[in-house]
A = this chain, B = another copy of it.
Amino acid sequence: MTTMPNWLKQRAFLTPERIAVSDGRRTKTFAELYEAAAVWARRLARAGVKEGDIVALLMKNRIEMIEIIHALFFLGARVLLQNVRLTSYELGWQLDDSGARLVIADEELAGSLDGDGRVLTVGALAALPEADVSFKETCDLEETATIMYTSGTTGTPKGVLQTYGNHWWSAVGSALNLGLHERDCWLAAVPLFHISGLSIAMRSVIYGIPMRLQTSFDPKEANEWIMRGDVTIMSVVAAMLQRMISELGEARYPDTFRCMLLGGGPAPRPLLEACKEKGIPVYQTYGMTETASQIATLAPEYSLTKLGSAGKPLFPAELCILKDEKPAAPHEAGEIVVKGPNVTKGYLHRPEATAQAIRGGWFFTGDIGYIDEEGFLYVLDRRSDLIISGGENVYPAEVEAVLLSHPDVEEAGVTGVEDETWGQVPYAFVRLKRGASPDEAALRAFCRERLAKYKVPARIYFVDELPRNAAQKLLRRELKRLIPKTEQTF
């Protein structure tokens, strides 16, 4: 068991005057960030937060969100980060499943949890008097720091436990891979409630570098910051990068910009070629909530020769392909299995799911891929049927479960279909109960009430039969064939 000084406290002690965070208007040093977090911590203590509690955050990217995360670390509480795009039903489900004590919510988002006694708005928290409380001086790397829900193939969301150690080793592994410069500044235009955004906030404190924060992605502003040399590293998904390149026009980024970290699914070749032409240093990555951000990365010099590869693992991590429980040969597809100190210790309250996912120290991702003869990873399919839409994960089983809960629906299958803007969007295929009449609009409205917008099927087709194998298992990859030929765009 390794303990370390609390990260923000240590950082504020070592380099108090360095810039910690800026949203382009407001800027805070590490000393100021520490002071602000300490005030929030004393208010949270007044609100009853104690060591070991789970406290949910339902907030959009802003400096206060970072402060409150650190405030909860000061108290030894575990932070459940909730996706602000989820429906009331989904949010409430996570709160009940996790046993969260409180939800700290932005005023504009608190309505999603109307009537839930656990909700405390940021404004209401700010109005609380400060309690006298002592802070945890150290963090234990084995302890859970944060929790994020993902669904996986079963369709039931599970809370991924991310320890201090997971975040620490992820930050260290990334620094050993990308290097660390005195003038680095990392732009977070991805949400802090995703691991892609949260990992930037952790790295800022661990590395002692500033982070730039966008409340929502603004490609024009992001480009301006990069052109001015304010930002040296940025995390994006393909759809974001595409918009930045369109916005950039003929201009080229300056040399100060050294890393475009591209995650959230495979990148289209024309995009990579456009980046190559413009001299944008794209690092393609492979990672997930369970690996506390990227676990493999492809350096820019390989971005075209190893097109479509996610590169090699970070220094502290390992990766292999298993086929029929044996290591696969080069170029042979199988399940991607990973290991490393950045990998989750499991799922909250889910010993069985944990035991199924982590076997012999290896985490079974459910993703399919292969490794070439030089050890470069190629991801073929995310978690069998995972749909990645604009960087958000959509689990077919979760959408199917909602469809099946409709009284008219007998069978449902969901799959991802290529989309120019979002990479993929979910399409649903439904067999209705005898006597029910098809009404796509009504069924989509039903989904909208129960699912975040990005999960709602872009199209719902009514069919007579769903493709199943001999064991009656739904063959999701064959669903696309059911799209009428006249509508097929692929």
Q: Are B180 and A10 in contact (CB under 8 A)?
A: no
- Does A463 count as interface, using CB distance less than 8 angstroms? no
Q: Are A206 and B176 in contact (CB under 8 A)?
A: yes
Query: Would A179 and B180 count as touching, CB distance under 8 A?
Result: yes
User: A176 and B318: CB pair below 8 A?
Assistant: no
Within 8 A of B (CB), among A228-256: none
Residue in contact with A176 in the complex, picked from B5, B207, B315, CB distance below 8 Å: B207
Report Cα–Cα, A51/B124, bound state, in Å.
61
Judge if A4 is at the interface, Cβ distance under 8 Å: yes
Chain B residues whose C-beta falls within 8 Å of the C-beta of A179 in the assembled complex = 179-182
Asked if residues B14 and A315 are in contact (CB atoms below 8 Å), the reply is yes
- Is residue A341 within 8 Å, beta carbon to beta carbon, of the partner chain? yes
- For A, the interface residue count at a CB cutoff of 8 angstroms equals 24
Closest to A14 in B: B312
Tell whether A13 is near chain B: CB-to-CB under 8 Å.
Answer: yes
Q: Report yes or no: B206 in contact with A5, Cβ–Cβ below 8 A.
A: no
Report copies per complex: 2
Write the nearest CB–CB distance from A340 to chain B, whole angstroms.
Answer: 8
Task: Check A437 for interface membership: any CB of B closer than 8 A.
Answer: no
Q: Check if A318 sits within 8 Å of B5, measured CB to CB.
A: yes
Within 8 A of B (CB), among A339-379: 341, 375
Contact with B along A406-431 (1 / 0, CB 8 A): 00000000000000000000000000
Return the chain B residue nearest A141 by Cβ.
B2
A109 at the interface (CB under 8 A from B): no
Write the nearest CB–CB distance from A176 to chain B, whole angstroms: 6
Supply 5 further A-B pairs (C-beta < 8 A) apart from A14-B312, A172-B176.
A10-B315, A11-B315, A176-B207, A176-B208, A179-B180
23 A–B contact pairs at CB < 8 A?
A: A2-B341, A4-B316, A4-B341, A5-B315, A5-B316, A10-B315, A11-B315, A13-B312, A13-B375, A14-B312, A14-B313, A14-B315, A175-B175, A175-B176, A175-B180, A176-B180, A176-B206, A176-B207, A179-B179, A179-B180, A179-B182, A181-B181, A208-B315
